[in-house]
Structure 1
Amino acid sequence: MADDDMIELKFRLFDGTDIGPNKFFPSTTVGSLKESILARWPAGKEIAPKTINDLKLINAGRILENNRTLAESRVPVGELPGVVITMHVVVKPPAVDKNNEKQLAKASKTSSCACTIL
């Protein structure tokens, strides 16, 4: 494929910083894009994904599916020459530890209000 057929993308993180821009083929899967994002994730970020399943990519208001390609996801291919397409990256919050969840539930049941109604 020619360089003209490639799509130039940058990825906007939750804090407004960007990864990229980089060029990708229309046949690139969304899962591959997420792997690229993980590999380039800035060091020192308070929130960092561990796997591609911790990331969501949003383009034009749509959440992109891992197994679909850029072309299948209807990302404009060749329609906007010289334009960088910005995709938003959302990081899923970490899963709650079951032990901590039980302790929080137990603590909320045992604590009671110390108010006095006169």
Structure 2
Amino acid sequence: MGDEDLIELKFRLADGTDIGPSKYSQFMTVASLKEKIIAQWPKDKENAPKMINEVKLINGGKILENNKTLSEARSLITIGELPGIVTTMHVVLRPPLFEKKKEKLQNDPPRKSHCVCCIL
């Protein structure tokens, strides 16, 4: 893998801190990239993601799909087009769905059943 196959990326978290910059192969999938981000996640952050589905990568206003490679994403957006330029991607976390449902169930008061029978 030559130096021309590498793309230099850094990842901006919601609080403004960065992960990287580091060089990644343009043939790496977005899912693999997300796994690396999770592994490099700062230990002092509270809401660290555990699965790649909790992470969204945004570049150029586009959400990158897990099954695409960086070179495929490059055709849609400008990733590392100029040598020596670091591309910044935004990292957005979405909480796992089951946590939302569990939290919603705890916050909702129990429903009372009412009879709406009509006797004629």
TM-score grouping bracket, smaller chain normalisation: 0.7 to 0.9
CA distance in 1 between partners of 2:2 and 2:79 (Å): 13
- Which residue of 2 is the match for residue 92 of structure 1? 94
- Which residue of 1 is the match for residue 42 of structure 2? 42
Deviating runs (4+, > 6 A) in structure 1?
none
- Which residue of 2 is the match for residue 114 of structure 1? none
Q: CA deviation at 1:77?
A: 5.7
Q: Gapped runs of 5+ residues in structure 1?
A: 111-118
- Which residue of 1 is the match for residue 66 of structure 2? 66
Which runs of structure 2 are paired with 1:74-113 in the superposition (5 Å)? 74=74, 75-76=77-78, 79-94=81-96, 95-98=99-102, 100-106=103-109
CA distance in 2 between partners of 1:77 and 1:15 (Å): 23
Q: CA deviation at 1:73?
A: 0.9
- Which residue of 2 is the match for residue 4 of structure 1? 4
CA distance in 2 between partners of 1:71 and 1:80 (Å): 14
RMSD: 1.9
Which residue identity does 2:100 align to in structure 1?
Answer: V
Asked whether the 8 Å contact 1:26–1:77 carries over to 2, the reply is no
CA distance in 2 between partners of 1:19 and 1:48 (Å): 13
Question: What SS class does the counterpart of residue 9 from structure 1 fall into?
Answer: strand
Which residue identity does 2:32 align to in structure 1?
Answer: S
Identity across aligned pairs (percent)? 59
Size of the aligned set, in residue pairs, is 108
Alignment deviations for residues 30-67 of structure 1 (CA, whole Å, 9 cap, x no partner): 00110000110001212211111100000100000011
- Give TM-score, length-normalised by structure 2: 0.80
Q: Gapped runs of 5+ residues in structure 2?
A: 113-120
Asked whether the 8 Å contact 1:27–1:69 carries over to 2, the reply is yes
